[in-house]
Structure 1
């Protein structure tokens, strides 16, 4: 799940660069939404990974 969150974050950042630069107003709004969703997914993944605590692989 962490991999998906990072993927969405990268896509959101690329869309934000294009949208915030004035390329398209619609892309800017979509980039904002995807960016915040990606941040939320990343935080949820980080917290759930920390809570579960995996045993080190030897």
Structure 2
């Protein structure tokens, strides 16, 4: 999932350099949402792992 966030971030940067403002904003928004989802799942995974060990 982090891979998709990075891909959308790269698309946003390329679109911003080429001057496609709408596409860059949309791709950056998608990348941000996917990154936050990844972050939440990562924290849940760490907490679940810690509870399983105990």
- Same fold, judged at TM 0.5 (above): yes
**Aligned-residue offset at 1:14:** 1.9
The answer to whether residue 44 in structure 2 is matched with residue 48 in structure 1 is yes
TM-score, normalization by structure 1? 0.65
CA offsets 1:2-40 (integer angstroms, 9 cap, x no match): xxx213212212212212213412211112211211221
CA RMSD of aligned residues (A): 2.0
User: Which runs of 5 or more residues in structure 1 are unaligned?
Assistant: none
TM-score, normalization by structure 2? 0.68
User: Residue 9 of structure 1 is aligned with which of 5, 9, 18?
Assistant: 5
How many residues align? The count is: 51
**Mean Cα displacement is larger for which, 35-44 or 6-15?**
6-15
